[in-house]
């Protein structure tokens, strides 16, 4: 469903992503791993249209999305979360979701001034959609709470819900389990599995927590210094000498 062909991203003289080709199949959990600075976040930014590649092509269900801006890529079905999500701290969880959804609605100032039928319809749809996303991620009980009052783990779930509220086909999750405890990590793994099983989504995640990746991912791509050095099942990647060398060859987050 997502095909990346020979994609390179240069920042000045540095190849943050270097000639990477990979294919992610629909309905699978794909993981991207690699030492710090390997190019993982840049790779996500390229897929989601935040960066344009220096060369190469990105195809989503056969459609060339290489040069599209991020809002159009999102409309075509690529949802994502970031390492840190900026939420409106003094607004409720539900309102944060509704604002996220509104970015996709058509009503303009005129609709607001006359409180048009379209606006009312869209408001209700946004609210329903937001509640549905909150239910899916298990946050119904905190829908009315302010963001500032919820836990770190709940914030992360809000980020998931925001990504889901855009009706994606594929979700890119940037370190979804960073900063949460082992028990909560298990909960996030289950949530990702549920996205695939119940919503038929394709998941692509960047993660440093190896235990989680090894038990969760269907396929793993390993980046190092911008290059794809390996890909395969967790079993294949775990036993690949090139991967072992990349992780043990001096990068400090090896077994994180
Ligand atoms: N906007 C930018 N301008 C210049 N250099 C950048 C930019 N973004 C990333 N880089 C560089 O590209 C390389 C890859 O960075 P990237 O953040 O993609 O790695 P990463 O694998 O996501 O790392 P981490 O695990 O630490 O988040 C790094 O050397 C980084 O300094």
- DSSP one-letter string for 49-72: TSS--SEEEEEETTEE-TT--HHH
- Measured in Å, residue 251 CA sits from the centre of ligand 1 at 15
**Residue of 33, 40, 172 to mutate, ligand 1, most atoms within 8 A of C-beta:** 40
Distance between CA 131 and CA 167 in Å, rounded? Answer: 14
Are 73 and 100 in the same domain?
Answer: no
Are 180 and 256 in the same domain?
Answer: yes
Task: Identify the residue whose C-alpha is closest to ligand 1 atom 14.
Answer: 39
- Measured in Å, residue 43 CA sits from the centre of ligand 1 at 9
Per-residue model confidence (pLDDT) at position 99:
82
**Residue of 42, 210, 223 to mutate, ligand 1, most atoms within 8 A of C-beta:** 42
Q: Find the mean pLDDT for residues 156-182.
A: 92
Quick check: helix, strand or coil at residue 48?
Answer: coil
Q: How many domains does the chain have?
A: 2
pLDDT by residue (tens digit) across 199-225? 999 999 999 999 999 999 999 999 999
Cβ proximity of 152 and 180 under 8 Å: yes
Are 14 and 52 in the same domain?
Answer: yes
Distance between CA 178 and CA 143 in Å, rounded? Answer: 23
Distance between CA 39 and CA 116 in Å, rounded? Answer: 47
Give the residue numbers spanning the domain of 107.
88-167
pLDDT by residue (tens digit) across 53-73? 999 999 999 999 999 999 899
Single pTM value for the model? 0.88
pLDDT exceeds cutoff 80 at 21: yes
pLDDT exceeds cutoff 50 at 254: no
Per-residue model confidence (pLDDT) at position 83:
80
Are 175 and 162 in the same domain?
Answer: no
- Measured in Å, residue 242 CA sits from the centre of ligand 1 at 21
Per-residue model confidence (pLDDT) at position 186:
94
pLDDT exceeds cutoff 80 at 249: no
CB-defined site of ligand 1, < 6 Å: 11, 14, 16, 34, 36-42
pLDDT exceeds cutoff 50 at 127: yes
Cβ proximity of 173 and 81 under 8 Å: yes
**Residue of 10, 38, 45, 228 to mutate, ligand 1, most atoms within 8 A of C-beta:** 38
Cβ proximity of 20 and 43 under 8 Å: yes
Instruction: Phi first, then psi: give them for residue 247, nearest 5 degrees.
Output: -80, -35
User: What is the band of 251 on the pLDDT scale with cuts at 50, 70, 90?
Assistant: very low
User: What is the band of 44 on the pLDDT scale with cuts at 50, 70, 90?
Assistant: very high
User: What is the band of 104 on the pLDDT scale with cuts at 50, 70, 90?
Assistant: low
CATH number of the structural domain spanning residue 196: 3.40.50.300
Are 14 and 55 in the same domain?
Answer: yes
| 82 domain residue, yes or no | no
Distance between CA 247 and CA 255 in Å, rounded? Answer: 8
**Residues whose CB falls within 8 Å of the CB of residue 211, separated by 6 or more in sequence, listed in order:** none
Per-residue model confidence (pLDDT) at position 256:
45
- Measured in Å, residue 225 CA sits from the centre of ligand 1 at 10
Name the CA dihedral angle for 206, 211, 214, 220, rounded to a multiple of 10 degrees. 20
Q: How many other β-carbons are positioned within 10 Å of the β-carbon of residue 52?
A: 13
């Amino acid at each position: 469903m997502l095909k990346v062909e020979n994609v390179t991203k240069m920042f000045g003289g540095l190849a943050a992503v270097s000639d990477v080709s990979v294919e992610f199949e629909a309905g699978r959990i794909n993981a991207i791993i690699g030492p710090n600075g390997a190019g993982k976040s840049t790779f996500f930014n390229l897929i989601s249209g935040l960066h344009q590649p220096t060369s190469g092509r990105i195809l989503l269900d056969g459609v060339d999305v290489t040069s599209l801006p991020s809002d159009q890529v999102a409309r075509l079905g690529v949802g994502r979360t970031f390492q840190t999500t900026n939420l409106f701290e003094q607004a409720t969880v539900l309102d944060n979701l509704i604002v996220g959804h509104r970015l996709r609605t058509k009503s303009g100032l005129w609709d607001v001034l006359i409180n048009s039928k379209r606006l009312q319809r869209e408001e209700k749809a946004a609210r329903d959609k937001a509640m549905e996303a909150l239910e899916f991620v298990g946050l119904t009980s905190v829908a009315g709470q302010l963001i500032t009052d919820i836990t770190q783990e709940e914030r992360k779930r809000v980020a998931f819900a925001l990504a889901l509220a855009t009706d994606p086909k594929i979700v890119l999750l940037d370190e979804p389990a960073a900063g949460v405890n082992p028990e909560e990590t298990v909960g996030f793994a289950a949530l990702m599995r549920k996205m695939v099983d119940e919503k038929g989504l394709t998941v692509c995640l960047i993660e440093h927590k190896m235990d989680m990746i090894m038990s969760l991912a269907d396929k793993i791509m390993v980046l190092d210094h911008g290059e794809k050095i390996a890909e395969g099942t967790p079993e294949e990647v775990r036993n690949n000498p090139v991967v072992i060398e990349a992780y043990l060859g001096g990068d400090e987050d090896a077994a994180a």
